[in-house]
Amino acid sequence: MKDQFSFIEENEWYSQGTDYTHLFAGYVWKAYVKEYGRESVLGVYENHHQKGYFNRNLDKEFLRKIFDQQMADKKTIDKIYKIWEVRLNKVKAVLKQVKEMDFQNCDFDEATHLMVKFEKARQDMWQKAFLSELVDSEGRNLLQEILVREGYSVSDTDLNVLSLPEKRSYLQDLDLELLHLVDKSSEAQKKGLKKLTKEYYYIRTGWGRAFMLTEKDFQEMLGELSKKDLKEFDRLDNFAEVTLEEKKAVCDKCGFNPKLLNLFYFFSRLAEWRDIRKQYVQICNTHLYDYAKRVSKEWKIEVGLVVQALCSEIAQGKMDIKLLKQRKKLSISYGDENDISLIMVGPEAKKIKQRMFKCFNSQFSEVKGNTGNKGKCIGVVKIVRGENEFSKFKKGDILVAPMTRPEYMPLIGKAMAIVTDEGGLTCHAAIVSRELGIPCVIGTQVATSILKDGDEVEVDAEKGIVKKITGSKK
């Protein structure tokens, strides 16, 4: 009998991890398998956390073609984005209906029909949204290969500048609006906070949890912001101008040829695209959780089990509680021989998990990654895989995470340094560490596996190395 998972040992793998539920992200796996094939990805979900394993061999092959096209035509990335934007607009159209739906009082079948439609639109959108993941996996390596071929030697610091987005992120827009409220009257602040709550209620939602923020939450943000040195935010008002000046200085120094300028444009636009994608993930998941609460009421089971099902599965009728509990404990997202995404549970899932872990971990012998932002420091490690571990993080700790997202910002503001398993030039950790001026090492792949809470380490972001000084005292 043919081993349908033999491709695990036949390839090299890149991983990404996050808080996760099948309701919030199961359709993403469907989209990836449909777009790139069954051997391109494997997902391991265990106790609220997902590790996605991406086939580096296939990623490199696909990305090399994209880079060749981009170097020949600057607008390649814009053309790809336009295809995605058409699909995003379809998501927006359904999202408008979702926002108008009173999930707790409407007809359940009507709500479910709408959410299946919503899931389908998001799956279609995600099919054309994975360039960021491919770049995280192989982007820096391929870029360095191209630079050598073209006869250039460029520092990590300069590469980071060249890959910066030229537009403020939506979270930077929020910071700027909060800053403008700091010295306003109490009446003006109240009015401003009401506006911000309406516009940014979703910013703490992730792939595993959802939060609908209130005016009180934004009042607390304003209070925290007013305690900071506001000079940290000087560049926000003139973000585009300052960023373009920094890029021009690097380009003038290095004298890049037109092909490489096209490629750096790709990284910059991809960072902006990633930010838009991230924003709509948060908005959609916030409203999706409202539907999950209605399903919980209808099925008379806890929400924590409802979120182990996709909307398309919920539409088939009440699911077996035992199956949902198995999915929550351990499940594998994979593609069958027809590139259809499926979910495996039970003893077979455990075997596949162990098989993938063994193959993946055999690729590494040290904690070494790439420079997200330069700097050196010594501090104590705190492993934070998701929001359920946020409370243990203290000011001055070194944040070690699978990757950071907007919901990590309260921790990043207190961190001495950031170390991540995943991420490339345009990832969240790299961008925010540059803004805040803290050392950052990205793309280690194994930091959360090798390091432990309480380890004292030296983070040398100049070389992308994290060295353990003393082990945890626990």
CATH number of the CATH domain containing 387: 3.50.30.10
Q: Are residues 357 and 378 in the same domain?
A: no
Q: Which of 1, 53, 43 is nearest to 22 (CA)?
A: 43
In a domain, residue 255? The reply is no
pLDDT of the residue at 353: 96
274-283, 347-356, 439-448: range with lowest mean pLDDT: 439-448
Rounding to the nearest 10 degrees, give the CA dihedral for residues 404, 344, 295, 52. 10
**pLDDT tens per residue, range 175-195:** 999 999 998 999 999 999 999
184, 233: one domain: yes
3-class DSSP assignment, residue 285: helix
How confident is the model at residue 151, as a pLDDT?
95
Predicted confidence band of residue 226 (pLDDT cuts 50, 70, 90): confident
Angle 449-450-451 from CA coordinates, rounded to 5°: 100
- Of 103-112, 120-129, 148-157, 317-326, the poorest mean pLDDT is in 148-157
**Range with the poorest average pLDDT among 75-89, 154-168, 273-287:** 154-168
Same domain (yes/no): 24, 115:
yes
Domain span at residue 203?
170-241
Q: E strands of 134-209, at which residues?
A: none
pLDDT number for residue 160: 86
Confidence at 474, pLDDT banded by 50, 70, 90: low
In a domain, 161, yes or no: no
Residue 163 lies in a domain: no
Whether residues 126 and 271 share a domain: the answer is: yes
How many separate domains does the chain show? 3
Distances (CA, A) of 425 to 131, 263, 266, 354: 13, 13, 11, 30
Query: Which amino acid type is present at position 157?
Result: T
User: What rounded mean pLDDT belongs to the chain?
Assistant: 93
pLDDT above 80 (res 293): yes
Asked if the structure places residue 252 within a domain, the reply is no
463 in the same domain as 430: yes
- Supply the pLDDT for residue 225: 84
In this prediction, residue 377 carries a pLDDT of 95
Whether 438 maps to a domain, the answer reads yes
As given in the structure block, the two tokens for residue 248 are: 């021009």
Say what the pLDDT of residue 472 is: 66
Query: How many other CB atoms are there within 10 angstroms of residue 404's CB atom?
Result: 28
Q: List Cβ neighbours of 392 (8 Å cut-off, separation of 6 or more).
A: 382, 384, 453
Task: For residues 357 and 388, state if they share a domain.
Answer: no
Which amino acid is located at 93 in the chain?
A: A
Would 158 be classed as within a structural domain?
A: no
Does residue 460 sit within a domain? yes
Q: In what order do the strands lie in the sheet with 376-383?
A: 370-373, 440-442, 417-420, 398-401, 376-383, 456-460, 465-470
Q: Are 465 and 389 in contact (CB under 8 A)?
A: no
1 pLDDT more than 70: no
pLDDT one-digit tens code per residue, 418-456: 999 988 777 889 889 988 899 999 989 889 988 999 999
- The torsion angle over the Cα atoms of residues 427, 93, 314 and 52, rounded to 10 degrees, is -10
Both 310 and 348 in one domain: the answer is: yes
What is the predicted pLDDT for the residue at 236?
Answer: 87
Query: Do 142 and 198 belong together in one domain?
Result: no
The pLDDT assigned to 465 comes to 94
- Rounded to whole angstroms, the Cα distance separating 51 from 45 reads 6
Q: Residue 43 domain-assigned? A: yes
- Angle, to 10 degrees, between the axis of helix 258-299 and the axis of helix 108-126? 160
Q: Is the pLDDT of residue 246 over 80?
A: yes
How large is the average pLDDT for residues 351-364?
A: 93
Total Cβ atoms within 10 A of residue 15: 23
Q: Are residue 465 and residue 335 in the same domain, yes or no?
A: no
Angle CA 460–462–464, to nearest 5: 65
Tell me, what's the pLDDT at 2? 66
pLDDT of 412 reads 94
The mean pLDDT of 236-240, rounded to a whole number, is 89
Asked if pLDDT for residue 230 goes beyond 80, the answer is no
pLDDT of 342 reads 94
The SS3 call for residue 105 is coil
Q: Phi and psi dihedrals of 16, rounded to 5?
A: -135, 140
Determine contact, residues 387/21, Cβ cutoff 8 Å. no
In single-letter form, the type of residue at position 448 comes to: T
pLDDT of residue 407 exceeding 90, the answer is no
DSSP annotation string for 300-353: TS-HHHHTTS-HHHHTT-PPPHHHHHHHHH-EEEEE-TTS-EEEE-SHHHHHHH
